[in-house]
Amino acid sequence: MSLKIDLRRLYTYPVLAAERDDYRTCTFAAEMNYFGDAAGNLVLNIDFRMDCAEILQLIAHGDAQYILHAECPTTLYREIFCSTSQKFSCTIPNSRIKTHLDCMALIVLTRDVKNFSCGDWNEDFARLTFDLQRGNVLAYRRFEPLTIDDDPNIFKNVASIFSVYRCTVDAAPFEIELAANKIKIGLSAKDYLIYRRYCSRPDLQPLLNAMIIFPALVYVFEDLKADTDFEAYGGTAWFKSLTAAYRRLKINFTEHILREENSSIKLAQEVMNLPVTKALEGLSLICDDATEDS
């Protein structure tokens, strides 16, 4: 949407904001949380709260919209995201932002409005009307700058919450145990010996993670979705580590994994930051090196 927003600090008409007293009782608030998606991009979830009947009517009639204004001074990235819904999400490519991101929640006119008035205005504006223009700000709320981590991974070393062991039965299939402080992955004797032989090689880590850690993590999320009270695992170190990792992103871990749109495979990719892609890239490098040496 092409919309020039008036962000000046001095307004000739009433504006609803926490630091202003133009309105007597009406309030405007907004909450924002964020996380890195499976591709490493920044996803912002915005929840607007506003109780001014006159402004809500403008939004309902299409004369105003909720807006998130995002700006990165380091990269000169700037974008506005618009919606008529009080809750919406937007995605910013990781390549467009660095160091930190400045955000502001606003309600902005999308059309010219004649003779606008509100019964909640203070004495200075009581009984006045204003002719407002498209792009005029009706309400705003400034957020604290978001610090952007150069590493898009939600969990810096996801393998640290797993422990791979040898099954006592030689022909045992791949198995997973969740009751201990680490998530235990059991491999058959033959598979375990191969794993031990190559697990210390850095170039093979992406492949091993995709083959062993990734499917195990999918199973973990499937189990958590089935046991929604989390009593069985709430005290384990791995559960606390995942909870803390999401908390750093201001996301409630248990609420996030129970959302219908967040499938187990999506969550596992989110935590590991595209493990299959990393594995294929690693495989390509290994094969290319082998070709050059031959």
**Alpha-carbon span 16 to 58, nearest angstrom:** 14
State pLDDT tens for residues 96-114. Answer: 888 788 999 999 999 999 9
Strand partners, 250: none
pLDDT at 222: 94
Burial of 190 (0-12, 13-18, 19+ CB in 10 A): exposed
Q: 26 near 52, Cβ under 8 Å?
A: yes
Regarding predicted confidence, which is higher, 226 or 10?
A: 226
Owner of token pair 């700006």:
71
- Residue 6: pLDDT above 70? no
Percent of the chain clearing pLDDT 90 (strictly above): 44
User: Locate tokens 């299409």: which residue?
Assistant: 62
Rg over alpha carbons for the chain, rounded to the nearest Å, is 26
pLDDT given at position 161: 85
Say if pTM beats, i.e. exceeds, 0.75: no
Banded model confidence at residue 128, pLDDT cuts 50, 70, 90: very high
Within a 13 Å sphere around the CA of 15, how many CA atoms are in the beta-carbon half?
23
Identity of the residue numbered 284: S
Closest CA to 269 of 180, 183, 155: 155
Q: Are 137 and 11 in contact (CB under 8 A)?
A: yes
pLDDT of 163: 87
**Which of 20-34, 84-98, 169-183 comes out lowest in average pLDDT?**
169-183
Does the pLDDT value for residue 31 go beyond 70? yes
**Quick one: pLDDT at residue 134?**
94
Residue 195, pLDDT > 70, answer yes
Query: How would you list the strands of the sheet with 183-187, edge to edge?
Result: 162-166, 183-187, 175-177
Torsion of CA 148, 18, 46, 48, to 10 degrees: 180
Q: What whole-number distance in Å separates Cα of residue 269 and Cα of residue 37? A: 8
- Residue 178 to residue 218: CA distance in whole angstroms: 13
Query: What average pLDDT score do residues 7-15 get?
Result: 79
Distance of CA 31 to the CA centre of its chain: 13
Q: Higher model confidence: residue 128 or residue 149?
A: 128
Domains identified in the chain and CATH numbers:
28-147 (2.60.40), 158-286 (no CATH)
Q: Report the pLDDT value the prediction gives residue 157, as an integer from 0 to 100.
A: 62
Q: Residue 62 is encoded by which pair of tokens? A: 């299409």
What is the rounded CA–CA span in Å between residue 252 and residue 258? 10
Residue 2: predicted pLDDT: 45
Among 54-58, 121-125, 243-247, the range scoring the smallest mean pLDDT is 243-247
| pLDDT greater than 50 at residue 1 | no
Q: Is the pLDDT of residue 5 over 60?
A: no
User: Residue 269 is encoded by which pair of tokens?
Assistant: 């990719």
pLDDT given for residue 228 in this prediction: 75
73 versus 113: which is more confidently predicted?
113
Percent of the chain topping pLDDT 70:
88
Hey, how many other C-beta atoms are within 10 angstroms of the C-beta on 209? Answer: 21
